[in-house]
Amino acid sequence: MYSTFASPGIGRVNATLDPPPQPDVSARKIGVLLSNLGTPDGTDYWSVRRYLAEFLSDSRVIELPRALWLPLLHGVVLSLRPKRKGHDYRAVWNNDTDESPLKTITRSQAHKLRQRLDAKATEGGVEVVVEWGMRYGNPSIEAAVQRLLEQGCDRILLAPLYPQYSATTTATACDKLFDVMKRMRRQPSLRVAPPY
């Protein structure tokens, strides 16, 4: 319905009294994001170096002053440790899937949780989507959030896979997710599962 009224100095204006129609809103989904520490993409020097650089640059992990730590990290630590750590990773590497055991286990946990929640959804519950991401390395938390959004999730539960709270584990996973969300124009609702 429209109404015509006069405004001083402007003349006649048509203004709508009814709000514009709203788009149909389909039922949205809940996303569960399992987060684990992380892993290099391979056991070679450069893969391990990239992983260690990201991990050891986190001020939640190394709490030394940045001006002191970063030159030491890039000058000494990242020159020597990747080769030694690559050897350690090769000793436990899952050669069948070409990945670290942590990645294999986290994927399996996400798959099993997805199966259990799918069974609950068929009983009339809300559809829940499960994804997983690593705080350091790949698949990243950012990529996991993107997959959840693409599947229609407007609520996300972050479940850091650590039984106890620590700034070096749980808090840094939250930091990473908050950094991802800071860049989003339209953010999903967010909850963080407590330590278990």
Predicted confidence (pLDDT) per residue in 77-101, tens digit: 999 999 999 999 999 999 999 999 9
Q: Please tell me the least confidently modeled range out of 6-20, 39-53, 91-105.
A: 6-20
Average predicted confidence (pLDDT) for the chain: 89
Q: Is residue 4 part of a domain?
A: no
Q: Is residue 20 part of a domain?
A: no
Asked if 41 contacts 138 with a C-beta cutoff of 8 angstroms, the reply is yes
Please report the beta strands in the chain, taking only residues with DSSP state E, as ranges in sequence order: 2-7, 11-16, 29-39, 128-137, 153-160, 189-192
Q: Is residue 40 part of a domain?
A: yes
Q: Is residue 63 part of a domain?
A: yes
Q: Please tell me the least confidently modeled range out of 20-34, 84-98, 158-172.
A: 20-34
| 133-146: average pLDDT | 97
| Domain of residue 110, CATH code | 3.40.50.1400
Please tell me which residue, 21 or 42, carries the higher pLDDT value: 42
For position 3, what pLDDT does the model report?
Answer: 47
Structure token pair of residue 15: 């203004």
Q: Is residue 154 part of a domain?
A: yes
Contacts for 56 with CB less than 8 Å, ≥ 6 apart = 62, 73, 77, 78
Residue 109 belongs to domain spanning: 29-192
Q: Is residue 8 part of a domain?
A: no
Residue given tokens 């709490």 in the structure block: 63
- Rounded to two decimals, the pTM is 0.81
Predicted confidence (pLDDT) per residue in 121-139, tens digit: 666 667 899 999 999 999 9
Structure token pair of residue 178: 């908050």
Query: Could you give the number of structural domains in the chain?
Result: 1
